[in-house]
Amino acid sequence: MSMLANQITRRLALPGWSVLRFGLTLVAAALLLAAVLTGVLVVFWIGIPVAVALFLAIRLWANSQRRVIGEQLGVHIPAPYRERPKRARLDQQALLLVREAATWRDFAWLAIDATLGFLVNLLYLGVFAVAVYYLVQPLLLVTVFHTAPNPVVNDFGFYDFDTPAKTLMLVPLALGAGVAWWRWGELFLRWYSHLGVLLLGPTANAVLTARVSELRQARDQTVDHAAAELRRIERDLHDGAQARIAALSLTLGMAEELLRQDRPEQAAGLVAEARQTCSDVLVEIRHLVRGIHPPVLADRGLSGALQAMALDHPLPVSVVDRLGEKLPAPLEAAAYFATNEVLANITKHAGATQVQVVVTHEGGLVRIEVRDDGCGGAAVVPGGGLDGVARRLAAFDGTFDLDSPEGGPTAVTMTLPAFQVGAAATDNKRASGR
């Protein structure tokens, strides 16, 4: 659909939105009146449960406003409320609600919407109604009301436009109202909606607090993941390479003893066994190092590492590389291991026959899409592999989205904020030069 068609569709849909918003202003007026009455009752005990119920009703109304305004503007307005204890007493719940800043912002928008919102939507719908009514009125007098002997219409006091011919004189008024509605009506409603976003959305301080909390949680999860990785590496070294090296030392000691006893053939057999053990230990250490940071990732970057991963995967994996730029090493490692975990999850559970990996870098975001034709039904389970991927990405302010309906297909979309290494280095040089 073209941009012009989108604008026409959007503006023709605005009267319906305005009717809905007008209905919400009537609800706001009723809630505002209930708030005044509750303020009188709150001095008595019976007013406390009424106040809690009213606060929750206002929140329900405010959430409806957030959805309507968000859909109208095409934005997401998150609810700024703090989590309330579930088993608190009524007086404690009322106190928590009163102390929360978002409650008073809801009250402010309630008062504004019950008064200014009523006038804004009434004016918008009035101009629209004038444009439509006086455009179709001549046709109505000729068709629907042509049998009426003396139709009472358009009695302005100074002149009666009561015939089809006379009502044609009001068409310029309708056209003027229509032009005003088309030209400024949407801007008028959007201005009022943006005012609602300022009051209904979280404050900058609340956003910053939530962001700090998310980063703290991501940091704690990253620290836990790093500690778990260190324990795994220690366990693998102790149970694998260290045990083999200890056995290798014993084998060489036995070979040395055989040589002292002048039994070279048996000693040669033990030396050959020790050589094979040494080769096995090297292979095991290489696998362990590859799990820490794959050499191919350092040598060929993320694109080459994903291609190598696709070649080693038991399923047919096609990689569409649209990355282009070199990324910082920590981001490349996070993207590599996240993709590897998703592919491992597909191998274990999806029952897929083919997989596609698409890597793009646009607008400062690295996007990795992994699609398979498996049975679907995948979910992010706490403590599971996909949950670990989400936590790994969260440490870099990344996102993890899963679309896996029953029966498939499954699509995993991972994003990571990134910057070009060259650009970052240039910026650093400029900063140091200053």
Predicted confidence (pLDDT) at residue 376 exceeds the cutoff of 70 = yes
SS3 label, residue 416: strand
Joined tokens for residue 286: 């290489």
Q: What is the pLDDT of residues 299-329, one digit of tens each?
A: 777 778 888 878 877 788 888 887 776 777 7
Question: pLDDT category, 149, cuts 50, 70, 90?
Answer: low
Sequence-distant (≥ 6) Cβ neighbours of residue 202 within 8 angstroms:
78, 80, 102, 210
Joined tokens for residue 348: 């274990």
Question: pLDDT category, 258, cuts 50, 70, 90?
Answer: confident
Sequence-distant (≥ 6) Cβ neighbours of residue 116 within 8 angstroms:
192
Report the percentage of the chain scoring pLDDT > 70: 74
Q: What is the pLDDT of residue 112?
A: 92
Q: What is the pLDDT of residue 426?
A: 39
Predicted confidence (pLDDT) at residue 117 exceeds the cutoff of 50 = yes
Joined tokens for residue 327: 């990324």
Q: What is the pLDDT of residue 425?
A: 39
Amino acid of residue 219: R
Q: Among 142-151, 193-202, 277-286, which is the least confidently predicted range?
A: 142-151
- The full set of domain ranges for the chain reads 10-200, 211-292, 301-425
SS3 label, residue 141: helix
Strands (E) in 280-332, as ranges, are: 317-322
For residues 276 and 260, what is the distance between their CA atoms, to the nearest angstrom?
23
Q: Read off the pTM.
A: 0.53
Secondary structure of the chain: what % helix, strand, coil (to 5)? Answer: 70, 10, 20
Sequence-distant (≥ 6) Cβ neighbours of residue 44 within 8 angstroms:
none
Total residues found in the chain within this entry: 434
Q: Which of 385, 430, 392 is nearest to 414 (CA)?
A: 392
Q: What is the pLDDT of residue 423?
A: 40
Q: Which of 198, 190, 135, 196 is nearest to 14 (CA)?
A: 190
Q: Among 33-42, 179-188, 201-210, 358-367, which is the least confidently predicted range?
A: 201-210
For residues 34 and 54, what is the distance between their CA atoms, to the nearest angstrom?
8
Class of domain 301-425: alpha beta
Give pairs for 267-272: CB < 8 Å, separation 24+.
Answer: none
Q: What is the pLDDT of residue 144?
A: 61
SS3 label, residue 310: helix
Q: Which of 119, 134, 125 is nearest to 166 (CA)?
A: 134
Q: Which of 287, 294, 296, 279 is nearest to 236 (CA)?
A: 287
Question: pLDDT category, 236, cuts 50, 70, 90?
Answer: low
Question: pLDDT category, 223, cuts 50, 70, 90?
Answer: low
Predicted confidence (pLDDT) at residue 158 exceeds the cutoff of 60 = no
Q: What is the pLDDT of residue 135?
A: 82
Question: pLDDT category, 254, cuts 50, 70, 90?
Answer: confident
Mean pLDDT (the chain) is 76
